[in-house]
């Protein structure tokens, strides 16, 4: 059976403080062969670096989530640039726009979104895009900044299949996780039907967004098989085909050797 690659996790989160080590040691035994822990703030980037230095199978993405961009300045941005050049850092992220929480000011979010896109371009790294309730502005900035030259993934995709087409046309991958199993995820399921399998990667966004039957509980990479099953059903293919294709896609996305 092909192993699983969790392309987006937050094992630095305090939700894992009580059993982080035991849980992470269990993942490879359960077929979770690779994980990218994704930075969202300066402090979570520091913890991400510790995790990728401690565990062979954990890689990192370094970046600042839109809702945390108020903490950025030239000094901290210079630190980010330095950390992105570590051997096991595979992407700049997560970066983007979040109008659900709508803080800090949209102008601040946009400024640091552009700066981090430029950083990825400078370092020839892919980006991990976070976009919530901000489809138009995300697309406009990515278009203006020629994000198609940078590449990456739109994580935790939550928009329509029409918006998916725009990101796919830019050459981006689409990150799909536990929401696919929710009964009310009609829009995502329609998008999933449309998105070709060679552009999809598996993710958890753990500790958030656990799939059914564990919805509402703490999520972890151990729940990904539920997403695989839902994906196989929608696509009319076997679970092994989903595993095999997403394993390849994840390595292509992060420009890693299998």
pLDDT digits (tens, 9 = 90+) for 119-150: 999 999 999 999 999 999 999 999 999 999 99
Other CB atoms closer than 10 Å to residue 52's CB: what's the count?
Answer: 23
Domain boundaries, the chain: 4-253
Measured between alpha carbons, how far is 173 from 164 in angstroms, rounded to an integer?
9
For residue 63, list its beta bridge partners: none
The whole-number average pLDDT for the span 175-203 is 97
The pLDDT, as a whole number, for residue 146 is 98
The pLDDT, as a whole number, for residue 75 is 98
Short-list 90, 94, 92, 95, CA closest to 34: 90
pLDDT digits (tens, 9 = 90+) for 198-244: 999 999 999 999 999 999 999 999 999 999 999 999 999 999 999 99
The pLDDT, as a whole number, for residue 15 is 98
pLDDT digits (tens, 9 = 90+) for 24-79: 999 999 999 999 999 999 999 999 999 999 999 999 999 999 999 999 999 999 99
The pLDDT, as a whole number, for residue 6 is 99
Class of domain 4-253: alpha beta
Tokens of 246: 């997403």
The whole-number average pLDDT for the span 184-195 is 96
pTM: 0.98
């Amino acid at each position: 059976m092909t192993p699983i690659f969790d392309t987006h996790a937050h094992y630095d989160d305090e939700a894992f403080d009580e059993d982080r080590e035991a849980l992470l040691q269990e993942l490879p035994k359960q077929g979770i062969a690779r994980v990218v822990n994704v930075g969202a703030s300066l402090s979570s980037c520091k913890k991400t670096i510790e995790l990728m230095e401690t565990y062979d199978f954990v890689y990192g993405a370094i970046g600042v989530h839109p809702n945390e961009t108020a903490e950025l300045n030239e000094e901290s941005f210079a630190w980010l640039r330095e950390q992105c050049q570590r051997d096991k850092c595979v992407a700049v992220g997560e970066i983007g726009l979040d109008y659900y929480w709508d803080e800090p000011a949209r102008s601040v979010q946009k400024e640091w979104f552009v700066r981090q896109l430029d950083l990825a371009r400078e370092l020839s790294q892919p980006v991990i895009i976070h976009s919530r309730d901000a489809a138009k502005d995300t697309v406009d900035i990515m278009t203006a900044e020629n994000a198609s030259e940078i590449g990456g993934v739109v994580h935790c995709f939550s928009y329509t299949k029409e918006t998916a087409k725009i990101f796919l046309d830019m050459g981006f991958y689409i990150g799909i996780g536990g929401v696919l199993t929710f009964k009310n995820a009609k829009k995502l399921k329609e998008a999933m039907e449309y998105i070709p399998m060679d552009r999809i990667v598996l993710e958890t966004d753990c500790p958030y967004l656990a799939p059914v039957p564990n919805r509402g509980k703490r999520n972890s990479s151990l729940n990904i098989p539920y997403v695989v099953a839902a994906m196989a059903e929608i696509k009319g293919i076997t679970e092994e085909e989903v595993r095999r294709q997403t394993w390849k896609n994840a390595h292509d996305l992060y420009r890693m050797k299998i």
